[in-house]
Amino acid sequence: MTVKLRIVHTHGDRITLTEPTTGVELFAYVYAPEAAWEAPKPYLHPMRTLAGDIVTDYRPNDHRWHKGLQLTASHLSGQNLWGGNTYVHGEGYLALPELVGSMAHTGFDEITAHDGGAVIAQRLTWHPHGGALWAEEERRIEVHDVDATSRSWALTWTSSIFNRRDEALLFGSPTTSGRELAGYTGLFWRGPRAFRGGRVTGPDPGGPWPMGRQAPWLAYSGEHDGADRRATLVFVHAPENDHLGERGTHPAHWFVRNEPFAAVAPSWAFHDELELAPGDTLRRRYRVVVADGAWEREQIADYLEEHPW
């Protein structure tokens, strides 16, 4: 039996979603403006398992601009919509506030909860530091498969980004700018400090460390502080994410770290820049499964087979 989730909108600030039988707040979707240096943008934090354990971090002391689960752009046509210092080849990370942009909330098209799920549909605009309109985004976050038996719930994040410039938008990363194995950009999760040293799992049991590689999914398991429990997050990118409409392919590659902190991103520009022509749309769809317990590879594969796209 499914139950209707409880959704509360605090206007101008956040939307919270609660599982009513336990009273656990599954997440807060925060869209209130924040510090300019941190490249303001909406984010999900805190995110919790069905047991109530937090699986995201917020403004950690090593990277104040890391906030839960958020969609970012670390290098975008010379601007930094990620936040904090900007990587410059040959010089490292520099404090360049004149390059730090933002993503601004403009409106919601839907905020609803139903039996076993919920929908948040939002419109945003993307801006360089100077405030010009570079892109418009339509974002849809769907919560589904809230399952007391498997002790898990899932969300699907879909973003359509429209280039409103008169020239191409170039999506890059520190790696496309010359730093090895730092191809972070796009959807990004920062795990809690206790998850440092966690277990990274991919679909290939004999495969190498997944940094910078391709795979349909990647999972991260960590252990909570203050509780004798573990949690697993499974990140899945939709098959169509490797394509750019009629203009060919641009495959996604995984960015993942478990030291010195827990982080995962299905990067859209790990090794090579992604070019979005004027008037074109970049559409990306992701799924994140939040589960109590340390799921093994076979359990993850079975779950994904039972819950296809």
Tell me: the pLDDT tens digits for 219-233?
999 999 999 999 999
Q: Could you tell me which residue, 248 or 178, shows the higher pLDDT?
A: 178
- At 151-181, the pLDDT tens digits run 999 999 999 999 999 999 999 999 999 999 9
- At 78-119, the pLDDT tens digits run 999 999 999 999 999 999 999 999 999 999 999 999 888 999
pLDDT confidence of residue 137 = 98
Query: Span 289-299, mean pLDDT?
Result: 98
Residue type, 69: L
| CA pair distance 12, 17, nearest whole angstrom | 16
pLDDT confidence of residue 246 = 66
Query: Span 182-195, mean pLDDT?
Result: 98
pLDDT confidence of residue 222 = 98
Q: Using alpha carbons only, give the angle 66, 263, 61 rounded to the nearest 5 degrees.
A: 40
Residue in 163, 162, 117 with CA at minimum distance from that of residue 141: 117
Residue type, 252: A
pLDDT confidence of residue 285 = 97
Query: Span 183-212, mean pLDDT?
Result: 94
| CA pair distance 256, 148, nearest whole angstrom | 29
pLDDT confidence of residue 250 = 86
DSSP per residue, the chain: ---BPEEEEETTTEEEEEETTTTEEEEEEE-S---GGG----EEEEEB-TT--B---BS-TT-TT-BSEEEE-SEETTBBSS-S-EEETTTEEE--GGGB-EEEEEEEEEEEEEBTEEEEEEEEEEE-TT----EEEEEEEEEEEEETTTTEEEEEEEEEEEE-SSS-EEEE-TTTTT-TT----EEEEE--GGGTT-EEE-S-TTPPP-TT---SEEEEEEE-TTSS-EEEEEEEE-GGGGB-GGG-B---EEEEE-SSS-EEEEESSSSS-EEE-TT-EEEEEEEEEEEES---HHHHHHHHHHS--
Beta carbons within 10 angstroms of residue 205's beta carbon: 8
Say if residues 153 and 146 touch (Cβ distance below 8 Å): yes
Using 50, 70 and 90 to split pLDDT, how confident is the model at 63? very high
Please give the span between the terminal C-alpha atoms of the chain, in angstroms, as a whole number. Answer: 22
pLDDT confidence of residue 207 = 80
pLDDT confidence of residue 1 = 61
Tell me the pTM: 0.97
pLDDT confidence of residue 307 = 96
pLDDT at 2 over 90: no
Q: What percent of the chain has pLDDT over 90?
A: 93
| CA pair distance 266, 274, nearest whole angstrom | 14
- At 8-37, the pLDDT tens digits run 999 999 999 999 999 999 999 999 999 999
pLDDT confidence of residue 248 = 73
pLDDT at 244 over 90: no
The average confidence (pLDDT) of the chain is 96
